[in-house]
Amino acid sequence: MYIIMDKQQIKEALLKLSSSERSALLSEVESEQDIHSKVLAKHREQLNNKQGCCPHCGNNKYRKHGIDKGSQRYKCKRCGRTFTEYTGTWMARLHKKDLVGKYLKLMEQELSLDKIKVQLGINKKTAFDWRHKILSGFQQTDKGSFEGITESDDTFFRFSEKGSRDLDRKPRKRGGVVTKRGISDQLVAVIVTADRGTQTDLTVTRRGRIKKADIAQAIGDRISQQTILCSDSHASYKGFAIDNNLEHHALRSDLGQRVSNGIYHIQHVNAIDSRLKQWLRGRFGGVSTKYLQKYLNWFRAKELLKQSTHFIRDFTDKSLQDIAAINHYKATQHNFEKLCILQR
Ligand SMILES: [Zn+2]
């Protein structure tokens, strides 16, 4: 039986709880309903305090320029284009914004699209699009430079041309685990890089064996003179280290060498790789190549926020910081087409 309470009765019921029960309940309610509004309010405040920048050209000089559908609008002093706190983020032009908080909560629980569809009363395509828009907000977020010993290795996923209709179905052969033996065009290479601090990178590169240009593209702008590279003895890594004048420790895994001098190894990235594959297999039954990078972003966000005491708030905050997220989202098809064409 449901008991319908008016506002006064709810207030009385709340006051009967202990203060810790009350604040736990309130924060639960808040995190479901309102988390994105709070995050956006913070971003708006940053923009109002002139701490933001124009999402079109990156310039930090702009002024207030009227109101757009309830949002403060700003005008860039360099390119002359206007923007709001949504522009460039994954929330740009999103309909049903009032459902975003609930959606994020369900996403945190890693519910299937079918369950999300039912719980929110939205269609599956919307649930799918939102997932990938949100994950596009992690393409650039928190990518600092690699410091000290930095491990890097390539890993492979089965190439799947079925890209357009990947709605959590469980096909037999998708994104399966493969070994390095027999690398072919039917495999997609992902470069996994991590330093011994908090910096990680997971980048989809190409079909078949990686080249040094792929390494450069994945992590080239994140290395510094403090980076000490550890990898296997693959020629691409040697070439990349020489080009960048990096101290490089190449392990001869073909000769059974796993550690050199007690500290140089690639066991952390190999552990990340196996956790990643386990998660993709267990949660999604593998994913299609077209959306693989988005799931890598998701996994990187999870790793990044492992210590977070308020995951959903931090996840939302970080994803909305990326004012190029919507461009990353729009590039999904183009990037996939590039992978479909074999690069030699
Ligand atoms: Zn501008």
Q: Quick one: pLDDT band at residue 2, thresholds 50, 70, 90? A: low
Residue 260: per-residue pLDDT: 86
Residue 84 Cα to ligand 1 midpoint, Å, equals: 12
Measure the CA–CA gap between 39 and 36, rounded to whole angstroms.
Answer: 5
Residue 63 Cα to ligand 1 midpoint, Å, equals: 11
Residue 77 Cα to ligand 1 midpoint, Å, equals: 7
Residue 147 Cα to ligand 1 midpoint, Å, equals: 33
pTM, to two decimals: 0.86
Is residue 133 assigned to a domain?
Answer: no
Smallest CA-to-CA distance from 232 within 191, 262, 204 is with 191
Residue 250: per-residue pLDDT: 94
Residue 299: per-residue pLDDT: 97
Q: For the residues 132-141, what does the mean pLDDT come to? A: 95
Could you give the percent of the chain with pLDDT greater than 90?
A: 64
Residue 83: per-residue pLDDT: 95
Q: Quick one: pLDDT band at residue 181, thresholds 50, 70, 90? A: low
Residue 273: per-residue pLDDT: 97
Range 245-278 burial, b when 16+ CB lie within 10 A, else e? ebebbbbebeeeeeeeeeebbbebbeebbeebbe
> What is the length of the chain?
344
Pair 214, 83 in one domain? no
Q: Which residue has the higher pLDDT, 260 or 89?
A: 89
179, 270 in Cβ contact below 8 A?
Answer: no
Residue 325 Cα to ligand 1 midpoint, Å, equals: 17
Q: Quick one: pLDDT band at residue 82, thresholds 50, 70, 90? A: very high
Is residue 62 assigned to a domain?
Answer: yes
Residue 88 Cα to ligand 1 midpoint, Å, equals: 12
Instruction: Please report, in angstroms and rounded to a whole number, the separation of the first and last CA atoms in the chain.
Output: 67
Measure the CA–CA gap between 303 and 285, rounded to whole angstroms.
Answer: 20
Residue 60 Cα to ligand 1 midpoint, Å, equals: 8
Is residue 7 assigned to a domain?
Answer: no
Residue 172: per-residue pLDDT: 47
Residue 121: per-residue pLDDT: 95
Pair 75, 183 in one domain? no
Residue 74 Cα to ligand 1 midpoint, Å, equals: 10
Three-state DSSP class for residue 248: strand
Q: Which of 289, 316, 331 is the last residue of a domain?
A: 289
Q: Which of 261, 289, 317 is the last residue of a domain?
A: 289
Q: For the residues 62-70, what does the mean pLDDT come to? A: 90
Sign of torsion, CA 262 299 324 87?
A: negative
Q: For the segment 310-335, what is each residue's pLDDT rounded down to a tens digit?
A: 898 899 999 999 999 999 999 999 99
Q: For the residues 249-257, what does the mean pLDDT come to? A: 85
Pair 176, 285 in one domain? yes
Residue 71 Cα to ligand 1 midpoint, Å, equals: 18
- How many structural domains compose the chain? 2
Q: Reply yes or no on whether the pLDDT at 248 is more than 60.
A: yes
Pair 163, 247 in one domain? yes
Non-local CB neighbours of 37 within 8 Å, separated by 6+ positions: 101
Q: For the residues 86-104, what does the mean pLDDT come to? A: 92
Q: For the segment 144-176, what is each residue's pLDDT rounded down to a tens digit?
A: 999 999 999 999 999 887 654 554 455 444 555
Specify the range with the lowest mean pLDDT, choosing from 24-28, 77-81, 193-197, 326-330.
Answer: 24-28
Residue 55 Cα to ligand 1 midpoint, Å, equals: 7
Residue 73 Cα to ligand 1 midpoint, Å, equals: 13
Residue 92 Cα to ligand 1 midpoint, Å, equals: 17
Is residue 281 assigned to a domain?
Answer: yes
Q: Which residue has the higher pLDDT, 273 or 38?
A: 273
Pair 81, 185 in one domain? no
Residue 75 Cα to ligand 1 midpoint, Å, equals: 8
Q: Which residue has the higher pLDDT, 298 or 184?
A: 298
Q: Which domain holds residue 282?
A: 148-289
Residue 61 Cα to ligand 1 midpoint, Å, equals: 8
Measure the CA–CA gap between 150 and 195, rounded to whole angstroms.
Answer: 4
Q: Quick one: pLDDT band at residue 15, thresholds 50, 70, 90? A: confident
Residue 53 Cα to ligand 1 midpoint, Å, equals: 8
Burial class for 101, CB neighbours closer than 10 Å (0-12, 13-18, 19+): buried
Residue 46 Cα to ligand 1 midpoint, Å, equals: 17
Residue 87 Cα to ligand 1 midpoint, Å, equals: 12
Pair 50, 157 in one domain? no
Residue 49 Cα to ligand 1 midpoint, Å, equals: 17
Measure the CA–CA gap between 216 and 205, rounded to whole angstroms.
Answer: 10
Q: For the residues 7-17, what does the mean pLDDT come to? A: 86
Measure the CA–CA gap between 253 and 232, rounded to whole angstroms.
Answer: 6
Q: Reply yes or no on whether the pLDDT at 3 is more than 70.
A: no
Residue 27: per-residue pLDDT: 72
Residue 329 Cα to ligand 1 midpoint, Å, equals: 21
Residue 180 Cα to ligand 1 midpoint, Å, equals: 46
Residue 251 Cα to ligand 1 midpoint, Å, equals: 47
Pair 55, 159 in one domain? no
